Amino acid sequence: MWKLARVAATRLTRSRRFSTAIPGPCMVHKRGTDILHDPWFNKDTGFPLTERDRLGLRGLLPPRVISFEQQYARFMESYRSLEKNTQGQPNSVVSLAKWRILNRLHDRNETLYYRALIDNIKDFAPIIYTPTVGLVCQNYSGLFRRPRGMYFSAKDKGEMMSMIYNWPAHQVDMIVLTDGSRILGLGDLGVQGIGIPIGKLDMYVAAAGINPQRILPVMLDVGTNNQKLLEDRLYLGLRQPRLEGEEYLEIVDEFMEAVHARWPKAIVQFEDFQMKWAFETLERYRKRFCMFNDDIQGTAGVALAGLLGTVRAQGRPLTDFVNQKIVVVGAGSAGLGVLSMAVKALSRMAGNSEAGAGKQFFLVDKDGLVTKERNNLDPAAAPFAKAPGEIVGLREGATLHEVVKKVKPHVLLGLSGVGGIFNEEVLKAMRESDSTKPAIFAMSNPTLNAECTAADAFKHAGENIVFASGSPFENIDLGNGKVGYVNQANNMYLFPGIGLGALLSGARSISDGMLQAAAECLATYITEEEIEKGILYPSVDSIRHITAEVGAAVLQAAVAEELAEGHGEVGPKDLQNMSKEEIAKYITANMWFPVYSPLVHEK
């Protein structure tokens, strides 16, 4: 059933490639070189002669008109020759070279860029998104050529309501916002963190079909506590320590009010905020605005889908989730987000009683096993802290190795940001797991921050494991024709669908029910045959299809909870009356796809 739907969708995408159907016109308020310098409208040598006449472009381009297909082939040729020419060079050099060539196209011709991205998403996602985006953020001040998105700084206090009107697009649907304080597992990168919203929004365009003219990456620069950056003469952000307390919140409040005033229906995704502000801003805004925190909520849904998939992969009924022993390493925004969503799922399974739910979860942070005896126990971690004596033989602060040895978990899940902490000793201890097919999730990003590599996991924990990582790794050749399958457990499988469903339903806010629907949709997407091979998540190649499905599930949940206020011409009543099939059609019909539209000049 699932399989059939996916094949049909692939065909749909293929037939749209270079389709001959004439797309609708696009209004442009510029002429001449202003159009050539605007990547939203620029077609380079692809402008037909009639359009060159209409838009004052005659003579500004070489005379021959090159088709979109030829332009695409030309770009891919230069990309492939760059790949060939950089063979054998260090990974970081190759990745940055690839990022540069893609970035140049992005800056010049967005239609061609997004077509290349959509058609080659498996190859390009690791360049424009995780892990290379981390390297780009680390080197941002040096790589900077032209701005992308908007920058609101502590110095703009009192000005944001007018500044927001400096953005040239009339409509914005999707905003990704960061303050740069916890960029992947790389720490505080200040203004350089802008690369993250840019990468996330590229995934929104590629996976969810959000129109790139309606996206807005935003950096809230409230300073940085990264001493190296403060001393770097090339650093492009404010050279001051981060604002704290009320001063900080006033900046975020002002930004949220400004966005809401200009684009009341825009969805704001909070990304890579340090934990204290991640939780606080989520609570502060989630009822008032249509927003969510991807690291807490998107990650939780992706992890939950993987945890449920693991139960199936271990050959047990889903209801057995209540008996899964899970060790979560990292008590930050992501780790705690995962635990609280997993506990909610458990209590639903147990008939909505939270009593005792989660007893089989174990939380380990930088100071070891988290128990109620912990000095200054973080209130957010408290519900998952073990009571004294709850696990015989384990004390407060027990090491990860001790915990794994004692608990013999079915799942070991890392969201610590610390590369290599699932070391040989810890991985070998997983061989004594109570499951014959234990799961290891090394979810921290980027690659060097993963808790272990895929190769080490299969080598030390055994060939029977189920493995997932936040950053991509190649599948592992286990010899004798056997393959150790590597899943990518990354929130990219959910955030685009959450945003898409929220947008097209016109949701007032993003509820737990909508997020739960997203996670369930992802969990049920994988077939039994796939699960048997240890496949927990779809291939990145099908991200556009899974995103449409997640979007539909989120929209349906918004309608069911009466949060859907409608989108454009489609009112709340229309949404309520749509069948499942109509919802699916409505979603796909509203997903932008890159083709050159005829440009019509409007004064």
Ligand X SMILES: O=C(O)C[C@H](O)C(=O)O
Ligand Y SMILES: NC(=O)c1ccc[n+]([C@@H]2O[C@H](COP(=O)([O-])OP(=O)(O)OC[C@H]3O[C@@H](n4cnc5c(N)ncnc54)[C@H](O)[C@@H]3O)[C@@H](O)[C@H]2O)c1
Q: Per CB under 6 A, does 338 bind ligand X?
A: no
Of 540-579, binders to ligand Y (CB under 6 A) are: none
Q: Which does 314 bind (CB under 5 to 8 A by kind): ligand Y, ligand X, Mg ion, none?
A: none
Q: Has 200 been annotated as catalytic? A: yes
Q: Per CB under 6 A, does 294 bind ligand X?
A: yes
| Residues paired with residue 217 on neighbouring β-strands, in sequence order | 176
Strand pairing class (326-329; 411-414): parallel
Q: Per CB under 6 A, does 445 bind ligand X?
A: yes
Q: Per CB under 6 A, does 295 bind ligand X?
A: yes
In the complex, what is the shortest distance from the CB of residue 497 to ligand X, in angstroms, rounded to a whole number? 15
Contact of 191 with 156, CB cutoff 8 Å: no
Question: In this chain, which of 197, 209, 330, 594 binds ligand Y, going by CB under 6 A?
Answer: 330
Contact of 526 with 538, CB cutoff 8 Å: yes
Q: Is 272 annotated as a binding residue?
A: yes
Q: Per CB under 6 A, does 112 bind ligand Y?
A: no
Calculate the alpha carbon distances from 207 to 288, 339, 472, 525, 546 in Å. 27, 27, 17, 16, 8
**Which helix (H) or strand (E) covers residue 221, if one does?**
strand 215-221
Q: What angle do CA 535, 413, 277 make, to 5 degrees?
A: 120
Q: Per CB under 6 A, does 295 bind ligand Y?
A: yes
Q: Has 129 been annotated as catalytic? A: yes
Can you read off the two tokens belonging to residue 300? 């939780």
Q: Is 434 annotated as a binding residue?
A: no
Of 79, 113, 114, 129, which is the active-site residue?
129
CB closer to ligand X out of 445 and 487: 445
Strand pairing class (482-484; 476-479): antiparallel
In the complex, what is the shortest distance from the CB of residue 516 to ligand Y, in angstroms, rounded to a whole number? 17
Rounded to 10 degrees, the C-alpha dihedral 174/175/176/179 comes to -170
DSSP readout, 429-492?
HGGG-SSSS-EEEE--SSGGGSSS-HHHIIIII-TT-EEEESS----EEEETTEEE-EEE--GG
In the complex, what is the shortest distance from the CB of residue 418 to ligand Y, in angstroms, rounded to a whole number? 4
CB closer to ligand Y out of 35 and 457: 457
Can you read off the two tokens belonging to residue 351? 């008939």
Write a three-state SS string for 74-134.
HHHHHHHHHHHHCCCCCHHHHHHHHHHHHHHHHHHCHHHHHHHHHHCHHHHHHHHCCCHHH
Q: Per CB under 6 A, does 491 bind ligand X?
A: yes
In the complex, what is the shortest distance from the CB of residue 470 to ligand X, in angstroms, rounded to a whole number? 6
Q: Per CB under 6 A, does 418 bind ligand Y?
A: yes
Among 16-24, 209-217, 324-332, 340-348, the segment contacting ligand Y (CB under 6 A): 324-332
144/192 Cα distance (integer angstroms): 9
Q: Per CB under 6 A, does 300 bind ligand Y?
A: no
**Using CB under 6 A as the criterion, what x/- string covers residues 166-205 for binding ligand Y?**
----------------x-xx--------------------
Q: Per CB under 6 A, does 275 bind ligand Y?
A: yes
Q: Is 214 annotated as a binding residue?
A: no
Of 99-138, binders to ligand X (CB under 6 A) are: 130
137/192 Cα distance (integer angstroms): 5
Single-letter amino acid code for the residue at 54: R
Instruction: Please give the residue ranges that form the binding site for ligand X (CB under 6 A).
Output: 130, 184, 272, 294-295, 445, 470, 490-491
Which residues are designated catalytic?
129, 200
Residues in touch with ligand Y (CB under 6 A): 182, 184-185, 275, 295, 299, 302, 329-335, 364-366, 415-418, 421, 443-445, 449, 470, 489-491
Binding residues for (S)-malate: 182, 445, 490
